[in-house]
């Protein structure tokens, strides 16, 4: 509860107590036929009933019952009764409110019998019910309005929470997409840089002309990696995906193979795709990523061993495959997040395809095989 709301409630409590005390004063001063004892009882009980209203929010039913008992002794607590009935109606169910109203209708009837007022019991009950129905109805209206406001506030908070959750989910998916693109774009070039730099390190007898060629290859791949990284960061800053340069596709596989062969990996590529098939941009990009990931992993874990890869149509699907040799002597365990194949699997599944990869046995020995199937356009 905010401090302003607490101060507002206390101000209303003070006003309610003042209203109850005003009715105590009007009853005890305006009635001349009251005896001294009766006047004293009315003043004491009336002031006590008014003071009890200070705790009406914490114990609304208890205060209402206590005031009903006070009403048996004097009618000076009538103002406090009205406030108490309103409090119960604005905070409790209508059944509890009806029970409290009935109790406060019976209290003045008993009061009339105790003091032998001479008035008709039916008249007193009807008059009490008429007066008590006003704060009861007002309290029910206030309670209904509060419930509507609370429901709207809860609905708004829930909508905001769901909106934040959706936004966080979208941000998470976008982060995963960006991370996947960074891996796909940079891992290929960085592995080439690492491989060529390693060649310079382990071969001190390389001639000047070959050193120049290796350095040129390292420089071009490092420059390409920086360009890819700059593009991705530019998209992150601007949020304009359309400003990015065209993504590589099937037509760029020859460049991948050329880079791998320059790095010392012998690659055999088999293209069995019909010439009249035009692949959608997303499918073409996914085919390129499969070959790229396979060549990158082959250079990282089995450098120097031959690689065979190819693409072909198989019924209503496009088949992309890659095999590279494995040997205990040349296997290299390099550090990494192992997220390349996870991201590739997710990409292919989102495209409606499937993927298989792992160690297989061939007549030439043990190989690592990567094979993916993608939907083929008609």
Three-state secondary structure call for residue 321: strand
Euclidean distance between CA atoms 82 and 104, whole angstroms: 9
Q: State mean pLDDT over 289-318.
A: 87
pTM: 0.47
Residue 335: pLDDT over 60: no
**8 Å CB contact between 239 and 249:** no
Q: Which domain holds residue 103?
A: 3-118
Weakest-pLDDT range from 80-89, 231-240, 243-252: 231-240
Question: Which of the two residues, 196 and 226, has the higher pLDDT score?
Answer: 226
- The domain tally of the chain equals 2
202, pLDDT greater than 50: yes
Angstrom CA distances, 125 to 8, 34, 101, 109, 174, stand at 35, 22, 11, 6, 71
Bigger pLDDT: 3 or 103? 103
DSSP one-letter code for 265: -
**Could you tell me whether strands 267-272 and 307-314 are parallel, antiparallel, or unpaired per DSSP bridges?**
parallel
The CATH number given to whatever domain includes residue 358 is: 3.30.565.10
Q: Of all residues in the chain, what percent are helix, strand and coil, respectively (each to 5)?
A: 70, 10, 20
Instruction: Summarize the confidence of residues 125-153 as an average pLDDT.
Output: 86
pLDDT at 195 (0 to 100): 65
Q: Which of 68, 89, 118 is the last residue of a domain?
A: 118
- Of the residues 118, 147, 177, which one is the last residue of a structural domain? 118
Cβ atoms < 10 Å from Cβ of 1: 6
Query: Residue 327: is its pLDDT beyond 50?
Result: yes
* Average pLDDT of span 178-197: 67
Could you report the per-residue pLDDT of 71-118, keeping only the tens digit for each?
Answer: 887 878 888 888 888 888 888 888 888 888 888 888 888 877 776 666
Residue among 322, 327, 268 nearest 296 (CA): 322
Whether residue 174 is contained in a domain is answered as no
What sign does the dihedral 209-210-216-219 (CA atoms) show? Answer: negative
Span 209-233, mean pLDDT? Answer: 70
Quick one: pLDDT at residue 174? Answer: 63
- Residue 98 CB contacts under 8 Å (≥ 6 apart), including other chains: none
Average pLDDT, the chain: 79
pLDDT at 243: 47
Give the pLDDT confidence of 49-82 residue by residue, as tens digits.
888 888 888 888 888 888 888 888 787 888 888 8
Residue 317 lies in a domain: yes
CA 248 to CA 269: how far, in whole Å? 17
> In the structure encoding, which two tokens stand for residue 11, read together?
């101000």
What's the residue count for the chain?
378
Q: Is 81 among the domain residues? A: yes
pLDDT at site 165: 85
- Could you tell me if residue 153 is inside a domain? no
* More confident of the two residues 224 and 25: 25
pLDDT confidence of residue 42: 79
Name the domain boundary from 97, 118, 139: 118
Rounded to the nearest angstrom, the gap between the alpha carbon of residue 347 and the centroid of all alpha carbons in its chain is 24
Residue 32 lies in a domain: yes
Q: Tell me if 344 is assigned to some domain.
A: yes
Alpha-carbon gap, residue 104 to 85, rounded angstroms: 9
163 falls within a domain:
no
In a domain, 94, yes or no: yes
């Amino acid at each position: 509860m905010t401090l302003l709301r607490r101060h507002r409630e206390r101000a209303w409590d003070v006003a309610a107590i003042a209203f109850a005390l005003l009715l105590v004063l009007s009853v005890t001063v305006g009635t001349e036929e009251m005896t001294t004892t009766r006047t004293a009882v009315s003043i004491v009980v009336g002031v006590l009933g008014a003071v009890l209203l200070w705790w009406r929010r914490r114990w609304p039913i208890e205060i209402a019952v206590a005031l009903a008992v006070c009403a048996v002794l004097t009618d000076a607590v009538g103002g406090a009764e009205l406030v108490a009935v309103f409090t119960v109606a604005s905070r409790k169910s209508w059944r509890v409110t009806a029970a409290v109203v009935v109790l406060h209708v019976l209290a003045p009837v008993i009061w009339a019998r105790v003091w032998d007022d001479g008035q008709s019991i039916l008249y007193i009950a009807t008059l009490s019910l008429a007066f008590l129905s006003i704060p009861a109805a007002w309290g029910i209206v206030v309670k209904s309005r509060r419930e509507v406001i609370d429901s709207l506030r809860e609905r708004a908070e829930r909508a905001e929470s769901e909106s934040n959750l959706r936004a966080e989910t979208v941000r998470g998916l976008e982060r995963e997409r960006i991370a996947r693109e960074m891996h796909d774009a940079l891992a290929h070039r960085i592995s080439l840089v690492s491989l060529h730099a390693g060649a310079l390190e382990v071969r001190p007898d390389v001639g000047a002309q070959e050193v120049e060629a290796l350095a040129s290859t390292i420089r071009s791949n490092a420059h390409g990696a920086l360009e890819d990284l700059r593009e991705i960061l530019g998209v992150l800053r601007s949020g304009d995906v359309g400003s990015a340069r065209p993504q590589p596709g099937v037509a760029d596989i020859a460049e991948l193979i050329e880079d791998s062969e320059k790095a010392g990996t012998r690659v055999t590529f088999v293209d069995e795709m019909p010439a009249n098939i035009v692949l959608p941009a997303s499918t073409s990009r996914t085919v390129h990523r499969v070959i790229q990931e396979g060549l990158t992993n082959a250079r990282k874990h089995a450098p120097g061993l031959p690689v065979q890869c190819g693409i072909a149509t198989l019924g209503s699907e496009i088949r992309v495959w890659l095999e590279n040799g494995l040997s205990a002597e040349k296997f290299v365990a390099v550090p990494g997040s192992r997220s390349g194949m996870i991201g590739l699997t997710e990409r292919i599944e989102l495209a409606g395809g499937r993927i298989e990869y792992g160690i297989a046995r061939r007549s030439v020995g043990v190989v690592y095989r990567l094979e993916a199937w993608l939907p083929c356009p008609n």
